[in-house]
Chains A and B, each alone.
Chain A
Amino acid sequence: MQQLALFVTDFIALLGIYLIITFSLRLQLGYAGIANFGLVLAFTGGAYTVGWLPIRLGMWFFGINSGLSSDMIWNNTIIISRINPHLQSKPFMAIVIFILTLIVAGLVGALLGFLSGYPAARLRGDYLAIALLALGEVLAIIGGNFSPLVGGALGVQVPDVWNWVGDFRFLTVSLLIFFFSLAVWGYMRFLEKSPMSRTLRAIRDNRDAASSLGKPVTSIRLKTLVTGGVLCSISGALYAFYTTGVTAGAYGMFDWTFLPWVMAIFGGVHSNLGVLLGTFLFVLVRKLITFYKYSLGFLPFSPVWLQYLLTGGVVLTVLLIKPSGLITEKPSYTISKEKLKQIASRVLNGS
C-alpha cells in the first residue's frame, strides 16, 4: 500500500514536470513551428538556479555563519542541515525562498531562451534544429566542470522548502507541481483562442506570407523561444525542489529533450489534449518500467534499456501510421461554438 502511494505521488510529480515541458514544446513546435531540440538547456538552467540560489537566500535570511560560505560546495551538507530546521519552523520564509527562486529561474530560462534563440531564430528549419540540439548540452558541460556552480559531478543538496509540511511533504510538492502544469494548460487553452495563436500558426505555415503581412517574424519567433525557455526553466526548478538535489549529470538530452518530443509527437503536438494524452501515457509506462525494474532482474541486462527500445519503437510506429499523432489539429474558434450557433441562427432567420 505504501509502495502504491509512493508510486502515485512520484507519478503525479513527474507528470506535472513533463507536462510543463511538453506544453512548452507545444507552444514552440505546435504553434510556431520551431523545432526546439534544446529543451534541456532551459530545464538545466532552472535546476541550476535551485542548486545555487535558495541555499544563499537561506543563509542570508536565517543569518547562518558566513564563514561557511568560503566554500559553499564543501560545506553544502552542513549549511543545508542548518537551514532546514529554520525552514521547518518558518513556513512563510520557506515559501518566500520558493517563490523568489522560481521567479529567478523563470528569468534565467528567459535569458537562455533569448541567448540560444537570438542567433538561432534567424536560421531556417533544420539548421535551427541542429543549432538548438548542439546548444542543449552546453550547461551540462559547464555545470559538470565548474564546481562552484552546482558542485560539479558530485552535485549539491538543496534546502527543503517544503519540509514544514511533515509527512505529506512529497504529496504536497507533487500536487503543487501538478497544479503548476494545470495552470500552463490553462494558459495554452487561453492562447488557443487568442489572435496570437493565429499569428504563430501563420508564421509556422508560411513565414514569408506572414512577413509580407507585416508580422515581425523573427521577433515573434524569438519571443516564443523565450516563453518556452521560461516554462522549461520553471519545470527544471520544480523538479530540483522536488528531488532536493542538483547534479549536472542528471540533466541529459534523452530525458529532458528527446522524451518530451516523443510524448508530444505521440499524442499530437498540434493539440493540447494530444500533448496531455501523450505525456500521461509515456510517464505512466516509464514509471511502470522503473517500478518493476527489480522484478526483471533475471534479464542479463539492465531493464532500463527496454525503455529506450519502447520509446524509439513507439515513435517510429506512430510516425509511420499516424504522423500527426493520436489527436490532430482542429480549427480554433475565437468565440464559443454556442455563440457561433446563435449568430448563425440569427443570420439565417434574417433578424
Chain B
Amino acid sequence: MTTLIDAIIYSSLLSMMGFGLTMVRRTTGVWNVAQAGLVSIGAYCIFSGVNFLGGAPYIYLPLAFVVGAAVNALLFWFFVNPLRKRGSSFFILLVATIAFNIVLTGIINIYADFLQNVFSFSSKNFLMTQLDLHFLGESAIFFVSLVSLILLTVILFLFLNYTRVGLALRGSIEDPTLSKVMGVQINWIYLLSWAIAGGTAGFAGGLLPMRFQCNPGIGGSLIAVMFSVSILGGVGEIYGPFLGGWLVGFAQIYGINLLARAFGPWVLSYKQLLPMLILVLALLFTPEGLSGFDWTGKLRALITEEGEAR
C-alpha cells in the first residue's frame, strides 16, 4: 500500500514537472534545463517559509509557484527571447538554459549554506514529513499532490479552451505567424507560458520535501526523469506529460521492484538508471511520444493486414 501511495505521489509530482518542460518546448521550441533549479527553488521556498514564519508547509505553496514563475519568466525575457529573436540555434538556447541553471545551482547552494551557517538550520538535507497533516489516516501530501494534478489539468483545459488568452496561447503554438497577423502579442503569450511552466515546477518542488529527502541538488537529480516524462508523454500534446509522468513514476517504483524480484535485490541500487533507459527507448521507438503516436492508424493498419491475410 505504501508503495502504491509513493508511486501516486511521485507520479503526480513528475507529471507537474514534466508539464513545465513540455509547455516551453511546445511554445518556444526550447528544452529548459533550468527546470531543475526551479524545482529546488520550490523546495527551498517551503523550507524557508516553515522555518522563518511557521505554520503548515502547504500555505507556502503559492509562494513556491510565484517564485518559480518569476524566475522562469526572467530567464525567458532577458535571455531566451533575445536569443530566439536573433535566430539562435537550438543548442545555443539549450546552453543558455544550462548556464542559467548553473547560476541557480550556485544561488541555491549559497542560500542553503547561508541558512545553515547563520541560522543553524539543517538546510543541506531536509525532509518535512513530520510537519505533514493527516487526513483519513493518510498523509495529506497524497491528497494534495493528486488533487493538485487534477486541478492543474482541469484549469489548464478550461484556460486553453475557454479564455481569450488561452486560445491565443493555443493559436501561438499551432501557428505563430498567423497569430501575429491576428494581433496576438506573441511575446507576452510566450512569457506567460514560461511563467506557468516555472510556477508549476516551483509548486511541484514545494511538495517534494513532504515525502522525499531534499537538498540543493534535488532538481538536478530529477532532470533526466523530467525529460523522460516529457518525451515519453510527447511534446506534441500539452497533456502528454500527465500520461508520461504516471508511466515513468510507476515504472520507476513498481518496475524496479519487479526487476528486483526477477534478478535479485541488487537491482534496487540501479533505480536511477530506469528513467534513462525509458528515455532512450522512447527516443528510439516513439520520439513523438505516446500521445503523438498514431494509435488509431496503427490499429487500423493491423486490422486491414489481418483482413487481407484472411
User: What's the minimum C-beta distance from A132 to chain B, rounded to whole angstroms?
Assistant: 10
- A145 CB-CB contact with B under 8 Å: yes
In the assembled complex, 5 residue pairs joining A and B whose CB atoms fall closer than 8 Å, in A order, are: A141-B270, A261-B95, A312-B101, A316-B79, A319-B92
Stretch at the interface among A56-64, A88-96, A280-288, A302-310: A302-310
- B113 CB-CB contact with A under 8 Å: yes
A129–B91 CB distance below 8 A: yes
| Known A308-B105, A312-B99; further 4 A-B contacts with Cβ < 8 A | A133-B33, A137-B224, A312-B102, A319-B99
**Chain A residue, CB-CB nearest to B25:** A126
Interface residues of B in 100-133 (CB under 8 A from A): 100-107, 109-110, 113-114, 117-118
Give bound CA distance, A224 to B26, whole Å: 30
- B283 CB-CB contact with A under 8 Å: yes
A311–B99 CB distance below 8 A: yes
**Most-contacted residue by chain B among A135, A142, A254, A305 (CB, 10 A):** A305
- B269 CB-CB contact with A under 8 Å: yes
- A35 CB-CB contact with B under 8 Å: yes
Residues of A within 8 A of B106 (CB): 305-309, 312
User: What's the minimum C-beta distance from A152 to chain B, rounded to whole angstroms?
Assistant: 9
Give bound CA distance, A311 to B99, whole Å: 7
Residues of A within 8 A of B160 (CB): none
- A166 CB-CB contact with B under 8 Å: no
- B88 CB-CB contact with A under 8 Å: yes
Give bound CA distance, A142 to B271, whole Å: 10
- B40 CB-CB contact with A under 8 Å: no
User: What's the minimum C-beta distance from B284 to chain A, rounded to whole angstroms?
Assistant: 5
B109–A261 CB distance below 8 A: no
- B176 CB-CB contact with A under 8 Å: no
User: What's the minimum C-beta distance from A277 to chain B, rounded to whole angstroms?
Assistant: 18
A35–B94 CB distance below 8 A: yes
Give bound CA distance, A265 to B94, whole Å: 12
**Chain A residue, CB-CB nearest to B275:** A134
Give bound CA distance, A139 to B198, whole Å: 31
**Known contacts A262-B99, A308-B109; A134 and B88 CB within 8 A of each other:** no
Give bound CA distance, A126 to B287, whole Å: 11
A305–B113 CB distance below 8 A: yes
- A29 CB-CB contact with B under 8 Å: yes
**Known contacts A319-B95, A323-B83, A323-B88; A135 and B105 CB within 8 A of each other:** no
A134–B280 CB distance below 8 A: yes
User: What's the minimum C-beta distance from B218 to chain A, rounded to whole angstroms?
Assistant: 15
**Most-contacted residue by chain A among B86, B114, B224 (CB, 10 A):** B224
A308–B103 CB distance below 8 A: yes
B113–A300 CB distance below 8 A: yes
Give bound CA distance, A29 to B95, whole Å: 12
A-B contact count (CB 8 A): 130
Interface residues of A in 115-137 (CB under 8 A from B): 119-120, 122-123, 125-127, 129-131, 133-135, 137
Binding site for B on A (CB under 8 A): 29, 35, 37, 119-120, 122-123, 125-127, 129-131, 133-135, 137-138, 141-142, 145-146, 253-254, 258, 261-262, 265, 300-302, 305-309, 311-313, 315-316, 319-320, 323
User: What's the minimum C-beta distance from B30 to chain A, rounded to whole angstroms?
Assistant: 9
Q: CB-CB contacts of B147-189 with A at 8 A, as 1s and 0s?
A: 0000000000000000000000000000000000000000000
A305–B90 CB distance below 8 A: no
Give bound CA distance, A274 to B297, whole Å: 51
B273–A134 CB distance below 8 A: no
A134–B99 CB distance below 8 A: no
B83–A131 CB distance below 8 A: no
- B272 CB-CB contact with A under 8 Å: yes
Give bound CA distance, A34 to B120, whole Å: 46
Residues of B within 8 A of A120 (CB): 283
B114–A300 CB distance below 8 A: yes
A119–B109 CB distance below 8 A: no
- B66 CB-CB contact with A under 8 Å: no
B276–A308 CB distance below 8 A: no
User: What's the minimum C-beta distance from B155 to chain A, rounded to whole angstroms?
Assistant: 28
Q: Which of B94, B103, B270, B272 contacts A316 (CB 8 A)?
A: B103
A119–B273 CB distance below 8 A: no
A131–B283 CB distance below 8 A: yes
Give bound CA distance, A300 to B90, whole Å: 38
B99–A315 CB distance below 8 A: yes
Residues of B within 8 A of A141 (CB): 270, 272-273
**Most-contacted residue by chain B among A119, A127, A308 (CB, 10 A):** A308
- B228 CB-CB contact with A under 8 Å: yes
- B31 CB-CB contact with A under 8 Å: yes
Residues of A within 8 A of B8 (CB): none
- B231 CB-CB contact with A under 8 Å: yes
A302–B109 CB distance below 8 A: yes
- B10 CB-CB contact with A under 8 Å: no
A319–B96 CB distance below 8 A: yes
Give bound CA distance, A13 to B104, whole Å: 29
Give bound CA distance, A315 to B227, whole Å: 23
A127–B283 CB distance below 8 A: yes
